[in-house]
Amino acid sequence: MSMTLQDKFAELDQQNKALLAVNFYNFETLSATLKAAAAQDIPIILQSTKSTIDYLGLEVTAQLARAAIRQYGVEAWLHLDHAQDTELIRRALDAGYDSVMIDASEKPIEINRDITRKVVEMAAPYGANVEAELGYIAKLGQSKEEVAFTQPGQARSFVEDTGVDALAVAIGSAHGFYDMDPDLDIELLGRIHEATPAALVLHGGSGIPDDQIQAAIRNGIRKINLATEIKNGFMNTLREQLPQSEEIDLRKVFPGAIDHVQALLEEKITMINQA
């Protein structure tokens, strides 16, 4: 890895650009993501959650990503998404992750601050990027009615107190699918960006209208998380194709779903680069 993710974020900030951060779940979704990045010749962040690590095992998750990055010749970073357990974060750092997220956003802010500071100290010897979350961003199954947007002054003091590199901000997005189009508070985002040097992260990127994502990039978002659309596109393609097929060779069954996710991601990358 030639450049740390922290340096990459600093470079993106100068250019007013953002990176796509894509969750992978198996070889097929990892391959689709790297194929899209290679085809568009852009760097990308590969994300795995605790659920993926529980499924594949930490060593396989890390080594699979590393081998695939080399195979596809893409500039990419491996990120641990939404970890709530500092022990898992330590294991991921030992396994060679470039970046980790501590998500203590549902705890009182003082506890969030303390845990985040500990993770920043833990990650320092590895040179790893650390992301935290501030405010309320609804997770899958949680109410999207409740709103606790990140405030600029709060973001500034949180970043100063913790030394965190990247900050997921609550400006109107949510994880999973939206019942209606979200309405991101771009003006608030611009003020948060002015208040803190941290790389700002947009969670819940699936289903946000393109023009809002582009406005968010212009106002300080440097990392856009994408997960739900990947799983959904992959599985829906399989559901459509399997009833028409007698094939038992899974290596011949998966490529259609891989192609679908690759095409979806190439569209996203083009849209992000047009911001």
63: Cβ contacts below 8 Å, ≥ 6 apart: none
CA–CA distance, 200 with 192 (Å, rounded to integer): 9
- Please choose, from the candidates 218, 129, 145, 139, the residue with its C-alpha nearest in 3D space to the C-alpha of residue 177: 139
Q: Are 20 and 224 in contact (CB under 8 A)?
A: yes
**Alpha-carbon distance values, 75 to 69, 159, 223 (Å):** 7, 27, 15
Q: Which of 7, 41, 54, 81 is catalytic?
A: 81
Residue written as token pair 């996710």:
261
- Please choose, from the candidates 144, 120, 148, 122, the residue with its C-alpha nearest in 3D space to the C-alpha of residue 132: 120
**Alpha-carbon distance values, 108 to 87, 101, 114, 159, 195 (Å):** 20, 17, 10, 16, 22
Q: Is the dihedral of CA 160, 161, 165, 167 positive or negative?
A: negative
81 noted as active-site residue: yes
Q: Are 18 and 223 in contact (CB under 8 A)?
A: yes
Residue written as token pair 């699936």:
206
CA–CA distance, 62 with 94 (Å, rounded to integer): 10
CA 126 from chain center: how many Å?
20
Cβ atoms < 10 Å from Cβ of 271: 16
Amino acid identity, position 12:
L
Cβ atoms < 10 Å from Cβ of 51: 12
Catalytic residues: 81
